[in-house]
Structure 1
Amino acid sequence: MQADFSYEAACDGAGCQLGVTILADRERIRSQMRDDAEAAGFRILECCGLDEFGSGSIGALGDLVLVDCAQADAATTALLSRLDVRCGKSGAHLVVSTVMESLDIVFGCFALSGAQILVDPGRAERIMAIGRVLAHVPNLRLRELAEDDRLLLLRLTEQVGQMAQRLESLSPGQREGGGAFRLEAATQEWKGQATTSASESAGPSLPDAATIRGFIRQRQARARFFDADLFADPAWDILLDLTAARAECQMVSVTSLCIAAGVPATTALRWVAQMVDSGLLLRIPDPADRRRAHIALADSTAVAMSRYFAEIGVTTNRRVAVAA
């Protein structure tokens, strides 16, 4: 069944119809993506499997690149990384769907393009991702759209905007440049466990991991008695999980963080992207496997968390280590 929405041809400022490149190994998904992109007003430039596309020379990409990747072997990750660089340089929009089992590897391929990453998405989620791209096309005229779908797209755009505003106001400090998935070097920006060294910046101490994990268990216990959606707060759950990991001197994979967030993985990724973009979190390459990336608290965020725990009377003798 084709998407039940339709746009007039999506055109750029010069009036040229926008093109889309569709790469998917699963034929059913590829067919759906093609139908939905055409319904959204895009001109199909390429529609094939990843292996087929990767075996040839990568020519000009579309203004939108739709990718479905269920299995991320070495050849596929190399192709995804090349697409990330190309889209990052050209400004093309990139939407990538994958499965939870491949999320860590797929996530690690995208550091430059600000890709939308969807995890085990339904067709509606893919359509909404296209809608977010279309929201950036100036003067686009919507020809036919069911009222429910219209409201759904408006709410999604509104929620993403509110998320960015909230995180911007919470962020201890903004950093220049980069996109939502920019890559940070694992140098002085992340020091892991707090230390008692007198040379470190004096400030409120960070609780030990067991104490923080206790807070997390208390939050999770509410779901046994109430609807979990009633207390959904992915940003705070992400911060608590990363604070505990910092106290343990452990790195956290994006898959683990999505589970800790207590919301669907695609929603969790959207929060992680916004929190990285606002400077609350860092994306750190895995030193043992450059195809992967971890997420950690920025030093300024760790200090803010330590001050929060001090404010509510939960402290230890450990001090938060900050970059010199």
Structure 2
Amino acid sequence: MQADFLYDAAEDGAGCQLGVTVLADRAHIRGELRDDAEAAGFRILHSCSLEEYARGAITALGDVVLIDCAEDSAQSMAMLARLDMRAGKAGAQMVVSTTMGALDAVFGCFSFSAPQILVDPCRSERVIAIGRVLAHVPNLRLRELGEEDRLMLLRLTEQVGRIAERLEKLPAGQRAGGGAFRFESPSQGWHAEGDEYTIAPAQSQRPRLPEASFIRRIIRQRQARARFFDGELFADPAWDILLDLSAARAERCQVSVTSLCIAAGVPATTALRWISQMVDAGLLMRVSDPHDRRRAYIALADASADAMARYFAEVGADGSVPVLA
């Protein structure tokens, strides 16, 4: 996919052209990222592999950092963790592409910079991610986005991504790689402890989540629809994520990012966008692995677990009658 348009230089509020740091171990992707960033109006500050950047002298990061990391080697993960801290302190915007196999390790490296993480993206998805960066550069921001704006932007990005993916397939038949939320105050009914979630005795008047087997049956019922109809007709990643995490909470087990992306029933990059939005909205929370700080899990926030329990109680889902949620 070739860039069809050249844009004016991307500048900050002072009229300075924004700089970009390109770090990619795969040379062909590094070249594409560099070309696309220049086409979007950015000035290239650095363009090299992660290893080369780690060996060089410490220099200032660009306003935007584009990274491609396909393998979860210890050296690469250490470099990503350092870049995350530096970008978080400097306010740099990051776009990180990786593979499904390395996703959990890569995701665990980022705690401060809130990057866009793309999984096995095609070039069009990376171009869209670069475009989305402009909405987050502080000096270019025209107004703060409300939760409804964020949700609308997320859905629009999904639609544009699907269109771009299909257009990219047409010429040469190439394979494309693959909130208005309000809740009551969080309950104090549970806390994370070790490798499992410990549920404290709930007050009698507060509903509790159904048995995990019941929620899993609902999930299987939802998935069965794709055998008879186009799965895109029923794509509802937010609800599938909430159901999967509800079942995991009832089972008192932890859920990896990779597992949750699969449960969402949409491409991993799309699932990651939803997970990020739901974390920002307070629906989900990131849980660090106490035994390995490089790993992180995703869990329901207390308020979300309470809301899901009240939802199941409202629809009469006590586990005795199957309900197609």
Give yes or no for TM over 0.5. yes
Q: How does 1:216-227 map to 2 (within 5 A)?
A: 216-227=219-230
Residue identity matched to 2:253: Q
Q: Is 1:192 aligned to residue 186 of structure 2?
A: no
**Which residue is equivalent to 1:27?**
27
**Which residue is equivalent to 2:154?**
160
- Root-mean-square deviation (Å): 2.6
- What is the CA-CA distance between 1:173 and the residue it aligns to? 5.3
Counterpart-to-counterpart distance in 2, 1:230 and 1:173: 34
Q: SS at 1:290's partner residue?
A: strand
Q: How does 1:9-20 map to 2 (within 5 A)?
A: 9-20=9-20
**Which residue is equivalent to 1:146?**
none
In structure 2, relative to structure 1, the CA distance for the partners of 1:98 and 1:201 (3 Å cut) is farther
**Which residue is equivalent to 2:76?**
76
For these two proteins, the number of residue pairs brought into alignment is 286
5+ residue gaps, structure 1: 141-154, 175-185, 317-324
Return the match for 1:169 from 174, 181, 194. Answer: 181
Alpha carbons 2:183, 2:307 under 8 Å: kept: no
TM-score scaled by length of structure 1: 0.82
Residue identity matched to 2:6: S
Q: Is 1:238 aligned to residue 241 of structure 2?
A: yes
CA displacement 1:273-319 (0-9 Å, x = unmatched): 01111111110011221111000011111111111111111237xxx
Counterpart-to-counterpart distance in 1, 2:112 and 2:289: 17
Counterpart-to-counterpart distance in 1, 2:7 and 2:39: 7
In structure 2, relative to structure 1, the CA distance for the partners of 1:45 and 1:220 (3 Å cut) is same
Counterpart-to-counterpart distance in 2, 1:161 and 1:230: 15
- What is the CA-CA distance between 1:57 and the residue it aligns to? 3.1
**Which residue is equivalent to 2:265?**
262
- What is the CA-CA distance between 1:200 and the residue it aligns to? 4.5
Return the match for 1:287 from 285, 290, 304. Answer: 290
Counterpart-to-counterpart distance in 2, 1:263 and 1:307: 27
Residue identity matched to 2:46: E
Counterpart-to-counterpart distance in 1, 2:196 and 2:313: 20
- What is the CA-CA distance between 1:4 and the residue it aligns to? 1.6
Alpha carbons 2:151, 2:180 under 8 Å: kept: no
Q: Is 1:93 aligned to residue 93 of structure 2?
A: yes
In structure 2, relative to structure 1, the CA distance for the partners of 1:157 and 1:133 (3 Å cut) is farther
Counterpart-to-counterpart distance in 2, 1:81 and 1:122: 25
In structure 2, relative to structure 1, the CA distance for the partners of 1:19 and 1:203 (3 Å cut) is same
In structure 2, relative to structure 1, the CA distance for the partners of 1:311 and 1:76 (3 Å cut) is same
Alpha carbons 2:237, 2:264 under 8 Å: kept: yes
Counterpart-to-counterpart distance in 2, 1:241 and 1:64: 34
In structure 2, relative to structure 1, the CA distance for the partners of 1:296 and 1:274 (3 Å cut) is same
CA displacement 1:154-200 (0-9 Å, x = unmatched): x999432789xxx33344459xxxxxxxxxxx758x983645x3x64
TM-score scaled by length of structure 2: 0.82
Alpha carbons 1:171, 1:278 under 8 Å: kept: no
Counterpart-to-counterpart distance in 2, 1:94 and 1:172: 33
**Which residue is equivalent to 2:255?**
252
Alpha carbons 1:193, 1:246 under 8 Å: kept: no
- Which 4+ stretches in 1 moved above 6 angstroms? none
In structure 2, relative to structure 1, the CA distance for the partners of 1:18 and 1:305 (3 Å cut) is same
Counterpart-to-counterpart distance in 2, 1:172 and 1:278: 13
In structure 2, relative to structure 1, the CA distance for the partners of 1:206 and 1:139 (3 Å cut) is closer
Q: SS at 2:110's partner residue?
A: coil
Alpha carbons 1:173, 1:279 under 8 Å: kept: no
5+ residue gaps, structure 2: 142-148, 158-178, 320-325
Q: Is 1:306 aligned to residue 309 of structure 2?
A: yes
Counterpart-to-counterpart distance in 1, 2:12 and 2:315: 53
CA displacement 1:245-290 (0-9 Å, x = unmatched): 0011100000000000000100000000011111111100112211
Counterpart-to-counterpart distance in 1, 2:58 and 2:203: 50
Alpha carbons 2:196, 2:254 under 8 Å: kept: no
**Larger RCO (CA under 8 A, 6+ residues apart):** 1
**Which residue is equivalent to 2:67?**
67
**Which residue is equivalent to 1:51?**
51
Paired-residue identity, %:
62
Alpha carbons 1:194, 1:206 under 8 Å: kept: no
Counterpart-to-counterpart distance in 1, 2:155 and 2:274: 11
CA displacement 1:187-227 (0-9 Å, x = unmatched): 58x983645x3x64641121111000000000000001111
Counterpart-to-counterpart distance in 2, 1:121 and 1:300: 33
Residue identity matched to 1:219: R
CA displacement 1:125-161 (0-9 Å, x = unmatched): 0000010112345679xxxxxxxxxxxxxx9994327
